[in-house]
Amino acid sequence: NGTTIEVNRRSWEGCGFTREQIVGKPFWNGPWWAPSSSLVEEIKVASARAAGGHGFRAEMPYYVGDGSERAIDLTIEPITDDTGRVLFLAAAGIDITERKQAEADREKFVTLVESSTDFIAMCDLAGQPFFVNRAGLAMVGLDDMEEARRVPVASFFFPEDQARIMQEFFPSVLETGHGEIEVRFRHFKTGEARWMAYKVLTLPDADGRPIAFATVSQEVTERKRLEQNLRGLAADLSEAD
């Protein structure tokens, strides 16, 4: 009937409650759910489902003694006798607050990366891309990540620049952990040159060993064009003088 008959210490002391707030009362009226009437109703329905012989599992909020909201992976399972008759319900919860926060932070990071106008990408140490953001794909004329994964990093550069980048620049980044260079990217559809302030760093594993390269780079084509125009103007002025 939902009456709580036993609880472990973690479920009350660990949450900032007393045992008396829980034992002898309906499970759905427990202090973990009490601040939210909708949550109380959800637990009541879940308990009725379990009492009918069907297990329940869901990720949901719960509350602790100081009133703060946390997240739990909750299961309510029927305990039956040999004939299948439900004798008790066993409820167990795992706190997943940190995991949910990490997921939320990751979603924010993904949104930030995908909304950025910078070229953001990652590749393995062999120079095979495994991530390029939307702006980066558009910048070099690639349609999607599936296409990008088929293109070695060296192909992003003009042939005359490839040896310098792959044989000199990347080994230097691997040694120091970061590097920056201005280099031309090649637009795969038009062949057009895109000057980039190419900033690369290494991504380490748990032991600090580099396992990949990452870049957050900005297009500087317009700036390079202005620089060339200024140099041409300076030469013209010098000749005129």
Which residues of the chain form beta strands (DSSP E)?
56-63, 69-80, 86-95, 119-124, 129-132, 178-186, 193-204, 210-219
pLDDT score at 93: 95
Closest CA to 213 of 118, 126, 115, 116: 126
Return the number of other C-beta atoms located less than 10 Å from residue 3's C-beta: 11
Closest CA to 198 of 185, 212, 189: 185
Residue written as token pair 């167990």: 92
pLDDT score at 34: 94
pLDDT score at 172: 96
> Of all helices (H) and strands (E), which one includes residue 173?
helix 170-176
pLDDT score at 236: 66
pTM across the whole model: 0.59
pLDDT score at 206: 86
Q: Please say whether the dihedral angle defined by the alpha carbons of residues 133, 136, 140 and 143, taken in this order, is positive or negative.
A: positive
How far is residue 34's CA from residue 145's CA, in Å, rounded to a whole number? Answer: 47
pLDDT score at 230: 73
Q: Which residues lie closer than 8 Å to 45 by C-beta, 6 or more apart?
A: none
Q: What is the CA radius of gyration of the chain?
A: 30
Closest CA to 204 of 176, 170, 177: 177
Q: Which two tokens stand for residue 18?
A: 């007393």
pLDDT score at 240: 66
Return the number of other C-beta atoms located less than 10 Å from residue 32's C-beta: 29
Q: Which two tokens stand for residue 6?
A: 């036993």
pLDDT score at 241: 62
pLDDT score at 163: 94
How far is residue 27's CA from residue 166's CA, in Å, rounded to a whole number? Answer: 63
pLDDT tens digits in sequence order for the chain, 241 residues long? 899 999 999 999 999 999 999 999 999 999 999 999 999 999 999 999 999 999 999 999 999 999 999 999 999 999 999 999 999 999 999 999 999 988 888 888 878 888 889 999 999 999 999 999 999 999 999 999 999 999 999 999 999 999 999 999 999 999 999 999 999 999 999 999 999 999 999 999 988 899 999 999 999 988 777 777 677 766 667 776 6
